[in-house]
Chain A
Amino acid sequence: DAGVIQSPRHEVTEMGQEVTLRCKPISGHNSLFWYRQTMMRGLELLIYFNNNVPIDDSGMPEDRFSAKMPNASFSTLKIQPSEPRDSAVYFCASSLTPGFEMFFGSGTQLSVL
C-alpha cells in the first residue's frame, strides 16, 4: 500500500483565497483524521471521521474551515477565506478504527501571504 497520500505537498496562496487540501487514506481504514502542526501549538486535531461520518469537529478553528469525506477513499479540508495565521503543516492520518495505530501522510505545507 502507498500509505496515506496528501496533496499538494506545498501550497502558497494570498490572504482571502480559497485553499483545498486533499487526502487519500489507506484502503480499508475506517477512520480519518485532519491535524494541523505549528511550532507554537504543536499537533492539533481539527476533525476526525469514522466510516465517512464526521465524529468530532470541535478542533476546527472557525467557520472558515470545513471538511468533507464523500467516500471511503477521499477527504478534503477547505479554508475559505484563508488568512496568514492559517499557515501551518496540515496532516491527514488514517487508522483501521479509532484508537488503533494512526498512519500519517507527508503533510501539506501551507503558506498564506
Chain B
Amino acid sequence: TQLLEQSPQFLSIQEGENLTVYCNSSSVFSSLQWYRQEPGEGPVLLVTVVTGGEVKKLKRLTFQFGDARKDSSLHITAAQPGDTGLYLCAGDAGANNLFFGTGTRLTVIP
C-alpha cells in the first residue's frame, strides 16, 4: 500500500496569511494530483503535476512536485476564507490507481 502522509493535519490561520501544506511518501508516483473538498461535497481537482521538480501556479496557489516524484507541496499566498476546506493529495503509482493522502483540513478565519 502506497502511503501518502500530509502535514499538517489541521491548520487554522487568519485571512491574509501564507501557508504551506506537505504531501510525503516513500513511493515514487508517475503523477500527483491535488484536490480540495468542501463539506458535503466530493473532492474537486485543483492541479496535476507530472514531472519531477515541476511547479504549477493557480492564482494564489503554487504546487510543486519533488525532484524524486515522492513528495509535493501546496503553498497558498494571502489566504482567504474561500480557501477553507480539506486539501487532499493523490498519487498515481502507475496502475491508474490513485492513492489519496490523509488530508489537511484548512480553516481561514476572516
Contacts and interface: CB of A to CB of B under 8 A. Distances in A.
Contacts of B41: 104, 106-107
Interface stretch (B56-64, B71-79, B94-102): B94-102
A43 B48 contact: no
Interface in B13-53: 31, 33, 40-45, 48
B45 A101 contact: yes
B100 A43 contact: yes
Nearest to B6: A42
Interface residues of B, number: 21
A45 B97 contact: yes
Contacts of A91: 42-43
A112 to B, nearest CB: 20
Contacts of B88: 42-43
A69 interface: no
Contact of B31 (A35, A99, A103): A99
Contacts of A53: none
Contacts of A43: 43, 88, 90, 100, 103
Contact of B44 (A35, A48, A99, A104): A104
Contacts of A45: 97-100
A65 B28 CA distance: 31
Interface string B80-109: 000000001010100111111111000000
Interface string A19-46: 0000000000001000100000011110
Interface of B: 31, 33, 40-45, 48, 88, 90, 92, 95-103
Interface of A: 4, 31, 35, 42-45, 48, 56, 91, 93, 98-99, 101-107
